[in-house]
Amino acid sequence: MTMQDGMSHFSPGPDMGRELRSALSRFGTGVTIVTTSTDAGPVGITANSFSSVSLDPPLVLWSASRASRRYPAFREAEHMAIHVLAENQMDLCRAFSASAHAFDQVDWRESERGVPLLQGCLARFECERYAEYDGGDHAILVGRVLKASVRQGLPLLFYGGQFGQFAVGA
């Protein structure tokens, strides 16, 4: 690692994992919970890798860690719902980070397609499976948005490993 112009410079490698994570965490994101249903019941996961992809057709993506015990459920899923969290939903974020089965912590109902829909989020995208791409130790799951829901409010944000809120014009 070298220091120049007030920045650390390094090439990613096996011994640089912490530094790479730290650099990537400089990109602030929102936070989502992705849900789907399985034969064994509903499953959810906290994910900040969500991104919009295309308006026409309407496509979104998130990246699932192949090492996650929840990955098989999402790999097999024909439908999923992606929930953008509001600033008061940090507990829910932590709950679905710790467990795939935190549905007792939130009001939810099933969509016509059997997908768990969580209440209280800022936006929700109900998706059908569109594509899966190789993303190294993650899989890039692309969904086609069949239904979008949105309300006014402020988001939960994630930056540098910490949660925070949006400050308008700060």
Note the residues at the interface with ligand FMN (CB under 6 A).
31, 45-49, 62-65, 68-70, 97, 158
Residue 78 CA to residue 119 CA, distance in Å, equals: 22
Q: Cβ closer to ligand FMN: 152 or 162?
A: 162
CA 40 to chain centre: 22
Q: Cβ closer to ligand FMN: 69 or 75?
A: 69
Given phi > 0 = left and psi -120 to 50 = alpha, else beta, which region is 127? Answer: beta
**Minimum Å distance from CB 169 to ligand FMN?**
25
**Minimum Å distance from CB 108 to ligand FMN?**
17
Cα torsion 125, 111, 62, 159: sign:
positive
Task: Let me know: does 36 contact 103? Beta carbons within 8 Å.
Answer: no
Q: Cβ closer to ligand FMN: 62 or 108?
A: 62
Q: Cβ closer to ligand FMN: 39 or 56?
A: 39
**Minimum Å distance from CB 19 to ligand FMN?**
19
**Minimum Å distance from CB 21 to ligand FMN?**
12
**Minimum Å distance from CB 23 to ligand FMN?**
16
Q: Cβ closer to ligand FMN: 10 or 159?
A: 159
Residue 114, both tokens: 């059997």
